[in-house]
Amino acid sequence: MTQDQAVLDRPGTYGVPRSLSDRPRPVRIVVHIGNFFRHKPLGGFGVLIIGLCVFAALFGDQIQRYDPETIFTSVNPKYDPVIAEKALTDPMVRLEHPAEVFQKGETPILFGHPTSDHWLGTDGLGRDLYSRIIHGAWTALYVGLGAALIATIVGVIVGVSSAYFGGAIDFFAQRIVDTLQAFPGLVLLLLFGQVVSNPTLAVNTISLGILGVASSSRIVRSAVLAAREEVYVMAARTIGANDVRIMGRHIFPNITAPIIVTFTSSIGLYILIEATLAFLGLGDPTVVSWGKMIEEGRRNGTSDPWMALAVGMALTLTVLGFNLAGDALRDVLDPRMRGRGGRAGF
């Protein structure tokens, strides 16, 4: 081959386009991300919401304006010294006026409206609502990611072992899964909250993860049942590969797509369940939780609905972000969706 011919055959020379595989790895990653956002705009919107939530959870101490437990006060504008002095000699005056009239000095800013000092107002104790919402993002992600990891890891172990070996292992494993699915999830969580005298955040996360093992193991089991009948698995058995090698080299890499989708989609569900438990008073009382804040705002919803609306919007956007990202990721990783609107350029 001549030197000129070698130059012509080089990718990207004289207008010949280079394939994506010939480009550096950072360029390929950027191209894949751009294709994902272009073909899956809703999924990209969900990824942006997740990114904001993760940023708030990791850098909450830097972006929060105040300490979430600081109580802000102001001079009581309703204090009337004339009426307060008159009440010293006439006790019946206190029955004719509200208690705020007699409170002199600083009083907490209860359910304050948004101002330049407090962007989202204050809660029922006078604490900055914006700082508490930022701080509550860490609690939501801790429970969501932790419970999803526990449910996915244990579900993969149970599902792979049950489907691959079959027989008695499959029978007993599936009966345990059936037992977990027979009880309503919320009832089990309520019962568990009554048994444990002081449920911490870690205890609630573990209980949610155990509750999610049933659904994740069923999904993994169905994927393994289909993969173990493939030709490459039979060929591996023929050449004498042991069970550990077959599961690790041939089965597990081919079921990663449903595992990733199950993990991503379940995070939003666990965040919502944790908020529900906190709303019902079964969460960890020592942490800042969106569900507990919504319940506090609900008690004063008729007169001061801003707190419940602000916190509820944060919870809704976070769960929506994980659901949108999970749906888009399912379409990208499912080969049956390609060519029918599920193509993401990958």
Does one domain contain both 104 and 148? no
Number of domains observed in the structure of the chain: 2
In a domain, 82, yes or no: yes
In a domain, 113, yes or no: no
Average the pLDDT over each of 1-10, 113-122, 126-135 and give the range with the smallest value: 1-10
Does one domain contain both 98 and 143? no
In a domain, 60, yes or no: no
In a domain, 90, yes or no: yes
Does one domain contain both 166 and 312? yes
In whole angstroms, what is the distance from residue 316 CA to residue 304 CA?
Answer: 20
Does one domain contain both 157 and 96? no
Helix intervals (H) in the chain: 3-9, 25-39, 41-58, 60-63, 81-89, 93-96, 129-165, 167-182, 185-195, 201-211, 213-227, 231-238, 243-246, 256-279, 290-299, 306-333
CATH number at residue 285: 1.10.3720.10
Does one domain contain both 141 and 247? yes
Other residues' Cβ atoms within 10 Å of the Cβ of residue 8: 12
In a domain, 34, yes or no: no
Query: In this structure, are residues 206 and 150 in contact, taking their beta carbons and an 8 Å threshold?
Result: yes
Does one domain contain both 247 and 98? no
Q: Which domain holds residue 100?
A: 73-108
pLDDT exceeds 80 at position 10: no
Does one domain contain both 83 and 193? no
Does one domain contain both 205 and 307? yes
Which 8-state DSSP code applies to residue 125? T
Torsion of CA 222, 227, 229, 232, to 10 degrees: -170
Query: Interhelix angle for 256-279 vs 185-195, to 10°?
Result: 60
Output the DSSP codes for 223-238. Answer: HHHHHTTSHHHHHHHH
Does one domain contain both 145 and 100? no
Mean pLDDT estimate for the chain: 81
User: Where does residue 139 fall: left (phi above 0), alpha (psi -120 to 50 degrees), or beta otherwise?
Assistant: alpha
Average the pLDDT over each of 47-56, 65-74, 94-103, 246-255 and give the range with the smallest value: 94-103
In a domain, 23, yes or no: no
How does pLDDT run across 178-233, given as a tens digit for each residue?
888 887 777 777 777 777 777 788 888 988 998 899 989 999 999 898 888 888 88
Query: In this structure, are residues 277 and 194 in contact, taking their beta carbons and an 8 Å threshold?
Result: no
pLDDT exceeds 90 at position 236: no
In a 13 Å sphere around the CA of 226, the CA atoms on its Cβ side amount to 8
User: Which residues are paired to 73 by β-bridges?
Assistant: 108
Does one domain contain both 192 and 320? yes
Does one domain contain both 137 and 98? no
In a domain, 263, yes or no: yes
User: Which residues are paired to 128 by β-bridges?
Assistant: 122
State residue 317 phi and psi, 5-degree precision: -65, -40
In whole angstroms, what is the distance from residue 215 CA to residue 184 CA?
Answer: 13
Does one domain contain both 201 and 94? no
Average the pLDDT over each of 14-18, 94-98, 265-269 and give the range with the smallest value: 14-18
In a domain, 42, yes or no: no
Check residue 275 and give its pLDDT: 92
Closest CA to 294 of 136, 177, 158: 136
